[in-house]
Amino acid sequence: MAASALLTGSPWLRMRLLPDAPARPFRHLHLRRSFSVRASGADGSPAPVRVRFAPSPTGNLHVGGARTALFNYLFARSKGGRFVLRVEDTDLERSTRKSEEAVLADLAWLGLDWDEGPDVGGDFGPYRQSERNSLYKQYAEKLLDSGAVYRCFCSSEELEQMKEVAKQRQLPPVYMGKWASASDAEVQQELEKGTPYTYRFRVPKEGSLKISDLIRGEVSWNLDTLGDFVIMRSNGQPVYNFCVTVDDATMQISHVIRAEEHLPNTLRQALIYKALGFAMPSFAHVSLILAPDRSKLSKRHGATSVGQYKNMGYLPQAMVNYLALLGWGDGTENEFFTIDDLGTVTLNFGAISFAVQKFTINRVNKSGAVFDATKLKWMNGQHLRSFPHDELIKAFEDRWTDTGILQESESGFAKEAAELLKDGIDLITDADAALTNLLSYPLHTTLSSEEAKPVVQDKISEVAWSLISAYDSGELGQALAEGRDGWQKWVKGFGKSIKRKGKGLFMPLRVLLTGKLHGPDMGGSIALIHKAGVCCAVTPQSNFVTLDERFRMLKDVDWESLAKEQETPAVPAAAS
């Protein structure tokens, strides 16, 4: 669709590129000393909501970018608006199609489906900046014709000299305006010589500009601190702030929700809006995501990209939930949300039901939010365990089979293992370690540990020989064959026979049978270990130690020597 049609054909926004009357040089236009503008329809009514997320495909999708995308998505959905995806790939040296595909894949994984974009199309395309150069040149020429911009023939050396002079005078490093007042003859002379030139925007030398930021309130700038800035480079490539303004205006973006680091760009963009006769969108600048030390979150703090968390086993539901809470809350103690919850909430009053906005921009905090990886992992566990029961069991089973811990089996082992271990697993990838840990038997390491000393000193050898006897007689094996119920019945009788109960019974039994001091329910653990030995569901790489092997190890322990070692006080390092 032609750019002019995009601008004039809209039912809600009439954007006049230039006055119908002959253009006057911009330096003669009257500019109020202070001005602010906002988006509205042709009839003064609020513009339909259109928001955009505009990633640069020069790397992975950072969690900060993902949160910005999420806030845009939620705002659009809560307002019944459109969520636009635009790829800002004007950095030709660093932008790659592979990076673009990765960013889009991460956004799709999070569930942020866009209404318009490079892969789905739309009425306001193209949706890649690299495909919109003719549009930028068209508007640059219009600004040149109106006098809003001028050709600047300064060399790199001259610009560096200006910076040095400004530095010596303790002034901001702004352009001194050498070519701002050049005559037509001087310009024509440089054109005939073929001197390279940029397009510079003519900034008023006095006055101020202010915007009403939806998060930060009123923000203002003095225009004399800016200086004339470049909108088109000498190689014909447009500058970021010019591209963004043209794109947001021609795509009829009503609200620009972005990171606070873009706040300084707003001044340049607002001036371009004004010069082209575009209505300004509403702005909302979101705080940065901070590391625990309150510095800007970066790679030195660990994983920072969505793709990394995806590969680590995090769920998209948990990422969305946690990112939404970084700087936003619904005003309650509730922290558990799905993406649908965040968009709208349905209220029912008898036979009448209606949806209300859950996510609102006025509840976004303007202070920085700290990224807590521990809380994210906890939240992932909450979402994982909220899966329907059958789906959760299947997820664990598929994981164990894919990683080679389990063999295909109809024994029901995987289901029992998932039931036993699920409450201690926050990441699906942690399921591997949870199961292999259950199947392992680090008896000697545990017995020689400082933590096991009270258990060993409580005559563990007596429990061990009685347990060995019960196993050799077949009594314990028969009980375990009956599952957890068989175990509970047996352990009750065993405790009576050796006159032990409670911790004095179960702690030594846990150490002797599992080789560990801690773990999930012991009855379920022992029943599962027994089942693994008879159903052949686990592979050799699971490091499984069978009950037969465990009891052989118990018989080989020199219990008398072990007890003496544990009774001997540790020798201080200095004395030794």
pLDDT, tens only, 182-219: 999 999 999 999 999 999 999 998 899 999 999 999 99
- The pLDDT of residue 410 is 73
Please say if the pLDDT value at position 455 is more than 90: yes
- Classified as helix, coil or strand, 349 is strand
Across residues 477-493, what is the average pLDDT? 93
Closest CA to 486 of 526, 457, 458, 451: 526
Across residues 129-158, what is the average pLDDT? 94
Please say if the pLDDT value at position 41 is more than 60: no
Handedness of CA 303, 304, 309, 314 (dihedral sign): positive
Segment (H or E) for 220 = strand 217-222
Residue ranges of domains in the chain: 299-388, 413-565
For 314-329, the pLDDT digits (tens) are: 999 999 999 999 999 8
Across residues 324-347, what is the average pLDDT? 77
For 84-111, the pLDDT digits (tens) are: 999 999 887 888 999 999 999 999 999 9
- Of 205, 299, 496, 501, the active-site residue reads 299
Look up the CATH architecture of domain 299-388: Orthogonal Bundle (1.10)
Please say if the pLDDT value at position 11 is more than 60: no
Percent of the chain with pLDDT over 90: 68
How many Cβ atoms from other residues are within 10 Å of residue 237's Cβ? 14
**Can you tell me the distance from the alpha carbon of 504 to that of 202, in angstroms, rounded to the nearest whole number?**
85
**Can you tell me the distance from the alpha carbon of 392 to that of 135, in angstroms, rounded to the nearest whole number?**
51
396 in Cβ contact with 431 (< 8 Å)? yes
**Can you tell me the distance from the alpha carbon of 219 to that of 208, in angstroms, rounded to the nearest whole number?**
11
Average pLDDT, the chain: 85
For 351-393, the pLDDT digits (tens) are: 554 444 578 898 998 888 899 999 999 999 999 999 999 999 9
Please say if the pLDDT value at position 43 is more than 90: no
Across residues 304-315, what is the average pLDDT? 93
Q: Is 299 a catalytic residue?
A: yes
For 220-243, the pLDDT digits (tens) are: 999 988 889 999 999 999 999 999
- The pLDDT of residue 2 is 36
Structure-block tokens of residue 80:
């019944």
Across residues 519-538, what is the average pLDDT? 92
Q: What DSSP string runs through 300-322?
A: GGS--BHHHHHHTT--HHHHHHH
Across residues 169-176, what is the average pLDDT? 71
